[in-house]
Amino acid sequence: MSKMVATFPRSVQPGIPKLADTPKGWTRYKLGDLFDVVSRPLKMQDDVEYDLVTVKRSRGGITRRSRLPGRKISVQSQFYLREGDFLISKRQIVHGACGIVSAEFDGSIVSNEYAVLRPREMLLLDYLRYLSHSLYFQQTCFHASIGVHVEKMIFKLEDWFRWEIHLPPLNVQRRIVSGLIAVERKLTVFGETLSHLINFKRGVMDRIFSQEIRFTDSNGAAFPEWEKKRLADIATIVGGGTPESDVPEYWGGNIVWFTPSEIKSKFISDSQRHITQLGLKRSSAKLLPAGALILSTRATVGEVGIATRECTTNQGFQSLVVQSPHYNQFWYYWIKKYKHEFLRRAARVSDLLCNCDLVHAS
């Protein structure tokens, strides 16, 4: 029988928190030593409007949930927030739902479903902002929560306060924060540059596939006009399959076996799971040659990669084995260009693939 492994959403970091030796000059604290618990009860008034906030998962920050008069707020036990508070959602912290209250949300309210903390003098607020993104911090939050299902786990503040953490002196915290801010600025510039390049590439591809841009050979002569072809004229379409999961002899071999979630780059070479020759023989999986276009037609429809070695896929693919003299990389970019059509016609992907334009072979 195959081994069952617990899985969690990407927002959850379930690993056991482990601290190395305390760095020189740093201090080992319990988390409870770094915070004061704050309680600012609200005396609800029916005709006064209040801003209610919530915290996004994956450390996505605090956001306004609604603005309501007191008479429409069902949970009457509410508490004020102040700028500089550290807010933890007791029901969502396993998903990273925590954040620092900005000036924008000063005076907003939350229920007792949240823990409201103020960092003490040894912990800079900006350092805490980055610290809350660390793997160790996230893991302590997970292990201070109890419940039988990840969506129903409840955070126990008193348990969390018992976990220990290393903290540098204030001057070192400031230097670390300054360095991280500088990195963020560079990433912002890089992201903007990357976005411009992606848009430029998209524009060039549009002009190429519309034939607005035409190329010439090494002698300056124009290439032949494009002509319409059926996919069967240039490639063989091959489906995939999955060996029975409860037969150990079908798994753990040396044959690459892709699933749609693994197609994340132009060239793909290895998979998370592998099948055996027996698994290949006893299933509908087909062995594809190196150079095949691995095209997902389920779930993440239209994701495509070029296999760099022999491989197989599950049934979520219709892979293309491009025949000579046609060029598989042309078809890779053609599929990338028309991915929106794959999404629009997801129920009949084969219809889209059966007719298309391509460069006429010289």
Cβ pair 260, 221 in contact under 8 A: no
CATH of domain 227-358: 3.90.220.20
Query: At a CB cut-off of 8 Å and minimum separation 6, what does 357 contact?
Result: 209, 226, 227, 228, 229
| pLDDT tens across the length of the chain (362 residues) | 334 345 688 889 888 999 999 999 999 999 999 999 999 999 999 999 999 999 999 999 999 999 999 999 999 899 999 999 999 999 999 999 999 999 999 999 999 999 999 999 999 999 999 999 999 999 999 999 999 888 899 999 999 999 999 999 999 999 999 999 999 999 999 999 989 998 898 888 888 888 788 888 788 887 877 878 777 888 899 999 999 989 999 999 999 999 998 998 999 999 999 999 999 999 999 999 999 999 988 777 888 999 999 999 999 998 999 988 888 898 898 888 887 776 676 555 445 555 444 444 43
Cβ pair 282, 243 in contact under 8 A: yes
SS3 label, residue 241: coil
SS3 label, residue 189: helix
* Contacts of the segment 201-209: beta carbons below 8 A, 24+ positions apart: 205/333, 205/336, 205/337, 206/337, 209/334, 209/337, 209/357
CATH of domain 27-167: 3.90.220.20
Cis peptide, bond prior to residue 325, ω within 30 of zero? yes
The model's pTM is: 0.65
